[in-house]
Chain A
Amino acid sequence: MTVIESAVARISAEDTSKPEFLGVFARPKATQTGIKNWLSTVDHKKIGIMYGAASLFFFVIGGVAALLIRIQLAAPDGKLLSGSTYSTVFTMHGTVMVFLVVMPMGAAFANYLLPLQIGARDVAFPRINAFSFWVFLSGGIMLNTSWFLGGGPDGGWFNYAPNNGIIFSPSTGIDFWNASLLIVGLGSLTGAVNLITTVLNMRAPGMSLMRMPVFVWMTLVTQFLLLFAIPILTVAQILLLMDRTFDAHFFNPEQGADPLMWQHLFWIFGHPEVYLMILPAFGIVSEVIPAFARKPIFGYPFMVFSGIAIGFMGWGVWAHHMFASGIGPLSVTAFSVATMFIAVPTGVKVLNWIATLWGGKLILNTAMLFSIGLVTQFTIGGLSGVSHALAPADSQQTDTYYIVAHFHYVLFGGALFGFIAGLYFWWPKAFGYKMSETLGKWNFWLMVLGFNVTFGPMHILGLQGMPRRMQSYSEVQGFAFWNAIASLGSFILAFSVLLLLINMFRSHSQWKNAGKPDVGADPWDGRTIEWSIQSPAPEHNFDVTPTVDSLDDFWYKKYAQNEEGRLVQVATGEELAQPGNGEGVHLPAPSNWPIRLAFSLPVVGYALIYSLWFLIPGIFLVLVCLYGWALEPADDLDLDHGHNDDDHSLAQTVEENTASISGGVSDE
């Protein structure tokens, strides 16, 4: 250990006098362009866009898996997939959608928007932010290589013991699941630390906690859930790793172990997990609905505190996933009651959205339609969720298609509808043009149609008794009709997703052909401060750190009350918008170490699966990257890095505002 350290120290000692020595220790140039710029970027906006692009890519993979499932089940006695392939396909569908689509999509919005909405220059730790993204990508790629390396995991996304043991699943699939999700989890953990620090510590002057947009609040709760939930999954996975790779006995009933321990660990992680998947989408629609209802969000404090309440109560309901596992009547009662209670804060949110819509001057564009879509579809999913809280009913429904219908209504109808609303809403801020409304409305209505035709019938199938994870069924079981309908719907749904992707590219080429007209800083007449900067957002975000005076600060700078108490416009968004002049602003220099470290971790992962000898180069590589990271100069040495006179304007602004910061904090 010390040998490596002193070697690294020696290298860096020479590095101190000669920055060019050993190219790896020089910091990449901020001026480099093209792909290199993206690979080494530490800009939260670029990282957010990459998160979004990667999760859309994985969305296509997960979607193809879903279509394979629906083709297999379209008619009785499906022959497309063998039993073991079918297990792999539904496991990968679930795992990819949860860990590589919904969670990173939330991270995409969080990364892009958090600093913009709280008036910060970037996140607290830009390099760690880049690492979080790359490690998610490297883990996601590693998981998907299992398709080609002896078959994917086949234990379901929840991967119950003892079915996940070496006896019942001897292929390397579950080892891939384990190792790659450990790596992905590392990204979630570092991301959580980073984003919480950013929200708590880097708010603009005047941006007190109760002036933060609801999206920031929901993301903060989400990141706290991640911070505390991920380590529990990590422990479960490490125990499983010990069992599978090192012959430990944690889940081996022969040695007296209780395999139910896996279920407890998994769902103590897993239930906060479902809330951390939905809360970012709740945050997004809480931004979109007020913007297009032309009203402030109804009951802002209730929105905030119901989100926090969901965050807390999410920890006390995990065993409702286990009513059929024999946990005893007292536990069943307690978790049943707790589960009914958690519907209350969720219901508060739904009521608040409806109350925000009530009496508003509704602008029904695509973003708004998707938001209303979330409110309606999620409510259906929420109601079927309450029916799971009733333990006697749940004992009948559990492991049937009724459950499948429920969680697709909350995850697709909830989370994904919210994310797509967010895509349409913030697209002009990120890329400088709006997506087509015509295609967008086709996208929306086809998605609503396809979604309900796919997942609606699953309620009926579940109540008829069709089990989940069933590879095929026979004619006499009477499941054929609704399965055929669901499969039909899944193709409508897939087509609507295709329309979304087409819209992104087609709108771009139309915008380009029209000579790239400026969409303006504030295309929607928005409420929050991210609309007060140019579109696409300049690399330095704000020219001058904004000072925030109220909730929906940007709106109240545009509109003021006249003598009769009516709101009148006093300025347009374009008049107030910052010109996007980043002169003298110091930005963190790009770095290659996050991507290097992130892609050296799968080496360790593959070593755990194939041969422990590869741990030696793997761990060595990780250590080199860690020290390379630590010893990297904080700036591009060629760049005049901000200790110059131009910078004083900003420094002064910050100093001037220090007083108002402390004022803002004590307000809380």
Chain B
Amino acid sequence: MSETAVLDDNAREEDELVVDHSGDSGEHHDDGHHSSLGISNTKLAMWLFLGSECLLFGALISTYLLSKANFMTQVLAGNPKVLATLTKLKEVAPEKYEEILEEGSVEPLFDILFTSASSFILLMSSLTMVLSHKAVSEADYRASRIWLGATALLGSIFIAGQVYEFTVFYNEGIYFNKNLFGSAFYTLTGFHGVHVTVGIIMLASLLIMSMRGKLNQDRAETVEIVGLYWHFVDIVWVLIFTIVYLIP
């Protein structure tokens, strides 16, 4: 037991340089840290990382918009090579194919209602994330495990919805390497999907930590930091959903 305690004590300081050791039992560990800005190093680092991620998604969204515009220009101009990439759609769903040609928009491909539902589920997972942080900081570990599990579950449902949507598109002949729109769409949404998946892995790791009794009150900040990432991924989805699905 004593060794467990030592390890636990150590793990708390993981990756953070320990400048001071006031020798207390670690109840207010974070307050004990020497930090010029008054927030912990790990939280600051997460904010900086998210700042970097903004540029990553900014560039991905820009390239998606440019690629889609270029693709549509070619469709409307009747570029035979580009139209040939839509042959399967013409067979499977001729009305969608016609709509694309007439309206010069890929919007008819999307099932807005379905994606709205899965977006709603993802957004709700931010709520459960906040609840789990609140539960950990109030030392209500059972509730924290429930909310962590719920967050991971809601994220997984979103990913399942994305897989389903990809399958439908695939059956309509919109492959990743079929045409420019396919490449841009799958890259952008796939990248977001990978981010959600990484978030789910982090949540699952927190859940395991919690079940092994290692996620106690003074590590609430870890939950908060994972939460920062999770909320960021949600906010990016709001942008992607608006830009990819809602704006014609």
Contact = CB atoms under 8 A, between A and B. Distances in A.
Contacts of B48: 192-193, 196-197, 227
Chain B interface residue bracket vs A: 35 or more
Interface in A238-272: 238-239, 242-243, 246-250, 252, 254-258, 261, 265, 268
Interface in A123-139: 123-128
A256 B205 contact: no
Interface in B59-82: 59-60, 63, 66-67, 70-71, 73-74, 79, 81-82
Given A124-B16, A633-B10, A641-B10, A16 B177 contact: no
Contacts of B56: 231-232, 234-235
Interface string B30-71: 000011111101001100110111011001100100110011
A196 B36 CA distance: 12
A13 B52 contact: no
Interface in B165-196: 176-177, 179-180, 182-184, 187
A261 B212 contact: no
B29 to A, nearest CB: 12
A630 B45 contact: no
Interface in A559-582: none
A588 B70 contact: no
A383 interface: no
A258 B34 CA distance: 51
B70 A655 contact: no
A180 interface: no
Contact of B45 (A16, A197, A243, A658): A197
Contact of B208 (A6, A125, A257): A6
A255 to B, nearest CB: 5
Interface stretch (A59-67, A144-152, A200-208): A200-208
Interface in B1-45: 3-4, 6-7, 10-23, 34-39, 41, 44-45
Nearest to A234: B56
Q: Is the interface of B mostly helix, strand, loop or mixed?
A: helix
A230 interface: yes
B236 interface: no
Given A193-B45, A588-B17, A647-B23, A635 B67 contact: no
Given A255-B81, A256-B73, A17 B3 contact: yes
B7 A651 contact: no
A312 interface: no
Given A249-B177, A651-B22, A633 B16 contact: no
Interface string A608-648: 00000000000000000000001011110100011100011
A351 interface: no
Contacts of A654: 19-20, 34
Contacts of B6: 637
Given A197-B48, A200-B44, A125 B16 contact: yes
Contacts of B3: 16-17, 19
Contact of A121 (B17, B51, B201): B17
A235 B63 contact: yes
B124 interface: no
Nearest to B201: A1
B137 interface: no
A16 B9 CA distance: 12
Interface residues of A, number: 80
A342 to B, nearest CB: 20
Contact of B13 (A121, A128, A634): A634
Given A124-B41, A235-B56, A651 B23 contact: yes
A257 B41 CA distance: 43
Contact of B79 (A256, A633, A662): A256
B204 interface: yes
A255 B82 contact: yes
B170 to A, nearest CB: 14
A377 interface: no
A32 B204 CA distance: 36
Nearest to B208: A9
Nearest to A2: B204
A17 B2 CA distance: 9
Nearest to A247: B177
A200 B21 contact: no
Given A261-B63, A647-B21, A250 B183 contact: yes
Contacts of A234: 56
A234 B73 CA distance: 27
B174 to A, nearest CB: 12
B85 interface: yes
Contacts of A227: 48, 51-52
A200 B15 contact: no
A124 B33 CA distance: 12
Interface of A: 1-2, 5-6, 9, 13, 16-17, 19, 120-128, 189, 192-194, 196-197, 200-203, 207, 227-232, 234-236, 238-239, 242-243, 246-250, 252, 254-258, 261, 265, 268, 545, 586, 588, 630, 632-635, 637, 641-643, 647-648, 650-651, 654-655, 657-658, 661-662, 664-665
The 10 closest A-B pairs by CB, nearest first: A256-B74, A248-B183, A231-B56, A247-B177, A235-B59, A634-B10, A654-B20, A124-B41, A231-B55, A249-B180
12 contacts: A6-B208, A200-B44, A202-B36, A231-B52, A232-B55, A248-B177, A255-B85, A261-B66, A545-B19, A586-B21, A634-B18, A665-B36
Given A19-B7, A248-B177, A654-B34, 6 more contacts: A202-B19, A203-B36, A248-B187, A250-B63, A545-B34, A661-B34
Interface of B: 3-4, 6-7, 10-23, 34-39, 41, 44-45, 48-49, 51-53, 55-56, 59-60, 63, 66-67, 70-71, 73-74, 79, 81-82, 85, 176-177, 179-180, 182-184, 187, 201, 204-205, 208, 212
